[in-house]
């Protein structure tokens, strides 16, 4: 490893992933960035996930494995990784994602050359169980320096808004926002709240290359999220709390809260109206 380069730590929350975890581990080991480590936190599993990761770590000294003795859940496991990690830069190494060899290097280059940037991310290809593959490019944050405008773009949920969640981010920003948080609907779209918080901390930079390959599995967390009125309401309530607690001006907070309410009204009423029309 080169001490001249800032340390990047990959945070791998793993749970019941024995069928597909090995390619993820291989992709992490293949990173070309020269000052890189991975911490894997294995939530309490019923399969061989921990055994597979331990075997891989025995061959790659950059890996450290933590085995949880009680079920933490996705958010609890991520926050455990935050507590265990060090260095100026982190990235989520989700157990069903594959990153190409120059992913970390490309993202760190954006961060090192842009001090106001808290998150650097790439394009993403997603594959589904039916064989379909989609390419996701998110450019709505390009050149946006206003925290309020960045927050508004996250609130709008336009385009592939979830793509930046698979970027390299500053550890200081993660600690400033207090890590991941549950709310009244549990872990439902907690990645949206995470990005909203980060957007108010600093800029997002985009690397125009698909260096992340997301694999949707039958048990992928986001595939299990059921969108209901009450879950959406709880998610919007949490977003409102994040906005109110931010460092933005009262006027900026007010505008964002109005936008949040408008988006909720548009989404819920629109779905109800479409359901009413289809039932006629």
- Would you list the domain boundaries of the chain? 8-226
User: Is pLDDT at 270 greater than 70 in this prediction?
Assistant: no
| Beta bridge pairs of residue 134 | 126
The total number of residues shown for the chain amounts to: 280
Render pLDDT for 205-241 as a digit per residue (tens, 0 to 9). Answer: 999 999 999 987 655 555 455 768 889 999 999 999 9
Mean pLDDT lowest for which of 3-7, 61-65, 138-142? 3-7
Residue 273: pLDDT band (50, 70, 90) is: very low
Strand ranges (DSSP E) for 133-224?
A: 133-136, 168-170, 203-215
Tokens of 187: 């872990």
Q: Is the pLDDT of residue 146 over 50?
A: yes
**At which residue do the structure tokens 């907070």 appear?**
253
User: What value does the mean pLDDT take over residues 42-53?
Assistant: 96
**For position 167, what pLDDT does the model report?**
97
CB atoms inside a 10 Å sphere around CB 150: 22
Q: How far apart are CA 177 and CA 264, in angstroms?
A: 24
Containing 40, the helix (H) or strand (E) segment is strand 36-42
Give the separation between CA 254 and CA 277, rounded to whole angstroms.
34
Over residues 106-120, the mean pLDDT reads 97
Decide if pLDDT at 280 tops 70. Answer: no
Instruction: Report whether 181 contacts 82 (CB < 8 A).
Output: no
| Predicted local distance difference test score (pLDDT) of residue 275 | 46
At 265 the pLDDT is: 86
Q: Which CATH architecture has domain 8-226?
A: Alpha-Beta Complex (3.90)
Q: Which of 278, 258, 184 is nearest to 228 (CA)?
A: 184
């Amino acid at each position: 490893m080169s001490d001249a380069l800032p340390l990047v730590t990959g945070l791998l929350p793993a749970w019941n992933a024995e069928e597909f975890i090995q390619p993820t581990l291989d992709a992490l080991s293949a990173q070309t960035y020269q000052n890189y480590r991975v911490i894997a936190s294995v939530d309490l599993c019923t399969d061989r996930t921990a055994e597979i990761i331990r075997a891989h770590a025995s061959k790659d000294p950059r890996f450290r494995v933590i085995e949880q003795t009680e079920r933490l859940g996705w958010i609890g496991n991520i926050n455990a990784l935050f507590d265990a990690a060090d260095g100026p830069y982190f990235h989520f190494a989700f157990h069903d994602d594959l990153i190409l060899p120059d992913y970390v290097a490309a993202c760190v280059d954006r961060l090192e050359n842009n001090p106001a940037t808290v998150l650097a991310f790439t394009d993403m290809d997603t594959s589904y169980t039916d064989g379909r593959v989609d390419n996701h490019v998110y450019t709505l944050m390009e050149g946006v320096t206003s925290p309020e405008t960045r927050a508004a773009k996250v609130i709008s949920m336009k385009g592939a808004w979830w793509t930046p969640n698979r970027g390299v981010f500053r550890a200081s920003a993660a600690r400033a926002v207090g890590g991941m948080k549950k709310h009244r609907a549990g872990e439902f779209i907690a990645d949206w709240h995470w990005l909203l918080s980060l957007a108010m901390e600093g800029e997002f930079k985009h690397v125009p290359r698909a260096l992340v390959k997301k694999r949707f599995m039958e048990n992928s967390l986001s595939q299990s999220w059921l969108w209901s009125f009450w879950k959406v309401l709880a998610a919007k309530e949490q977003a409102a709390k994040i906005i109110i607690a931010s460092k933005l001006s009262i006027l900026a907070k007010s505008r964002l809260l109005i936008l949040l309410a408008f988006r909720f009204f548009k989404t819920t009423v629109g779905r109800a109206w479409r359901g009413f029309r289809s039932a006629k």
